[in-house]
Amino acid sequence: MTGKEYSKLYQESRDKAYDAIFEEYCNYVYAIVYNRLRGVASREDIEECVSDIFADVFFGYSPQSAVKEDMKGYIGTVAKRRAINAFHSLTARQKHFSENNEDELISISSDKDIEADSDRTETRSVLLSKINELGEPDSTIILQKYYYDRSSAEIAEMLSMKASAVRMRAARALEKLRKQLAKNGITL
């Protein structure tokens, strides 16, 4: 539902407008509130917050407002802000974080950067895929040389090749690999 459609329906009947917006966005708003309050609030608190959000939208939206197209964005913003306020209110009222809980949270905290770990995992996956695309024996040479840190002589013995041939193939394969990775925005 766009802002224009809502405004038109609002002018016809306020009750119909409220019902229509509730029907269309109820699950969306409930998901936002539930994700924010699930560890802190009871089911009744969550439902009350959802009702408050729709009241805010209904009474706070004016047909002359700037929201003409993106009702979902407007409602999502109202829902997120109201859910955050409810979270702070509930945790303050319940004194959710006691001294013991803070100590436990400190001991649980980690120095891991999840986003960086995810980026590295994705980069590794692309890298291995591109190495496999090199074909044999180039992919084996690259993996043995740079992953297992084996010398050209060791790789040559393993693949029944000359060490000079392994060095030459490694150099060419590495150059092909660099070009392929550069196309994917990865530099070595």
Cα torsion at 22, 27, 31, 34 (round to 10°)? 70
The answer to whether 46 and 34 are in contact (CB under 8 A) is: yes
Mean pLDDT computed over every residue of the chain: 79
Contact 84, 41 (CB under 8 A): no
Angle at the Cα of 43 from the Cα atoms of 37 and 48, rounded to 5 degrees: 80
Instruction: Kindly list the distances between the CA atom of residue 6 and the CA atoms of 30, 55, 67, in Å, as whole numbers in the listed order.
Output: 20, 15, 10
Sequence-distant (≥ 6) Cβ neighbours of residue 41 within 8 angstroms: 49, 86, 87, 90
Lowest mean pLDDT among 97-106, 122-131, 146-155: 97-106
Q: What is the pTM of this model?
A: 0.47
Q: Where in the chain is the domain with CATH 1.10.1740?
A: 3-105
Q: What's the pLDDT score for residue 60?
A: 77
Q: What are phi and psi of 151, to 5 degrees?
A: -80, 165
pLDDT at 110 over 80: no
What number of CA atoms fall less than 13 Å from residue 147's CA on the CB side? 11
Mean pLDDT over 29-54 rounds to: 88
Residue limits of CATH 1.10.10.10 in the chain: 114-183
- The class that CATH gives domain 3-105 is mainly alpha
More confident residue, 8 or 105: 8
The CATH class that applies to domain 114-183 reads mainly alpha
pLDDT band at 64 (very low <50, low <70, confident <90, very high): low
pLDDT (mean) for 65-87: 80
